[in-house]
Homo-oligomer: A and B are copies of this chain.
């Protein structure tokens, strides 16, 4: 093709990109992950599901059958809300578990992250407050920050959000939403107690403020007793965000929302503008996986893998860490959380950790309004057992050398 010299020179660096996009920070976690993936580094930094938990053989068989039996619809355009059979089975499962639901309550999303994004888009206008736990999921903060949200933060203890602080915060900040990760929270691994759940749905209903229960880990409980979900307690007052990422495979980018039908209808319009619909083929995979009863045994296997890894990490921590450190003991999910001595900065420790070939995520980015200098998050789902033993040993040495 002939190359023609243009008279006028373009300068994309001068294009007027909206200020709130330019100001958006790249996720600090993604930056940390770059360091963590250096050769020889044992990483507790990521939040990746255990690769050995992926049901690859099953997915391969299901994929082949889908191509054979209804390939033409499985790779075709489909509904913005998601394919009907998947919404039906998700509604049925929710109903069986204490949340009466119909297909009109379900919207399939491209991962729970898109659920957060749709909520933010539908609800948040610049300057609006969101009430949330401190610390909280950094990917949610990032999505909310884009819409110029502000935060009314509530402290946590080992029963989760201190709900007794919520009324005062609501009266002071009039938040548009309450955002919580009630089960095995990212980053702390803490689960909200049943008493607190009941209190939270009551007070949210009193002020008619929607609760967003971001619940990607709820099915991965390997210790303690099952608890009613916020959605089962709060009904129409709660929008539950769920995900196939931790219970099947994150690379399919599939999640779902369960919310009041009038609100789902609004989200559907936004979803349609955003990406028309989530990938049809992955939805058929998820449907087949659920409808053939493959999910329950698979969850048992995941719980065993994660429970074993968590037990190993906790016992290594108890054995090796110096005094002055507190840690959470999660009953499920992928993460635990360390409180280092007050004077220690986990951020400053990070480059020294990478030198020692071990990585974590320091806690500051999880605090909406700053703080958490002496905290850090450890993931136990990705590393194998040898790495957990060796990596906790390296961290122990690091801590001993730097406290």
Give A residues with C-beta under 8 Å from B.
1, 3-4, 6-18, 21-22, 24-27, 30, 48-49, 51, 54, 56-57, 59-60, 63-64, 67-68, 71-78, 80, 97-98, 110-111, 113-114, 117, 121-125, 139, 142-143, 146, 176, 198, 201-202, 204-206, 208, 210, 228, 232-237, 245, 249-254, 259-260, 262-263, 266, 268-270, 272-282
Contacts and interface: CB of A to CB of B under 8 A. Distances in A.
Contacts of A74: 251
B51 A76 contact: yes
Nearest to A261: B12
A395 to B, nearest CB: 24
A249 B74 CA distance: 9
Contacts of A146: 270, 273
Contacts of A125: 18
A373 to B, nearest CB: 25
Candidate in A16, A26, A233 with the most chain B CB atoms within 10 angstroms? A16
A251 B279 contact: yes
Contacts of A18: 121-125
A386 to B, nearest CB: 18
A27 B249 contact: no
A272 B110 CA distance: 12
A6 B202 contact: yes
A237 to B, nearest CB: 4
19 contacts: A1-B98, A1-B228, A4-B198, A7-B206, A8-B205, A10-B237, A15-B263, A18-B122, A26-B269, A27-B272, A48-B76, A54-B72, A54-B75, A59-B67, A110-B253, A139-B273, A139-B276, A142-B273, A146-B270
A251 B280 CA distance: 5
A118 to B, nearest CB: 9
Given A202-B8, A282-B281, A251 B124 contact: no
A10 to B, nearest CB: 4
B54 A60 contact: no
Nearest to A255: B275
A14 B249 CA distance: 36
Q: Which of A15, A146, A249 has the most CB of B within 10 A?
A: A15
A22 B252 contact: no
Nearest to A14: B208
How many subunits of this chain does the assembly comprise? 2
Contacts of A280: 250-253
A10 B80 CA distance: 27
Nearest to A76: B251
A12 B75 contact: no
A126 to B, nearest CB: 10
B12 A78 contact: no
A76 B245 CA distance: 9
A123 to B, nearest CB: 6
A205 B11 CA distance: 8
A30 B268 CA distance: 12
Contacts of A117: 273-275
Contacts of A56: 67, 71-72, 75
A139 B236 CA distance: 31
Given A51-B72, A54-B71, A56-B75, A275 B110 contact: yes
A24 to B, nearest CB: 5
A12 B54 contact: no
Contacts of A12: 210, 236-237, 259-260, 262-263
Given A16-B176, A30-B80, 18 more contacts: A1-B97, A8-B206, A10-B208, A10-B234, A10-B236, A18-B121, A18-B122, A21-B266, A30-B272, A54-B71, A63-B64, A76-B251, A78-B251, A114-B274, A252-B281, A253-B275, A274-B274, A281-B281
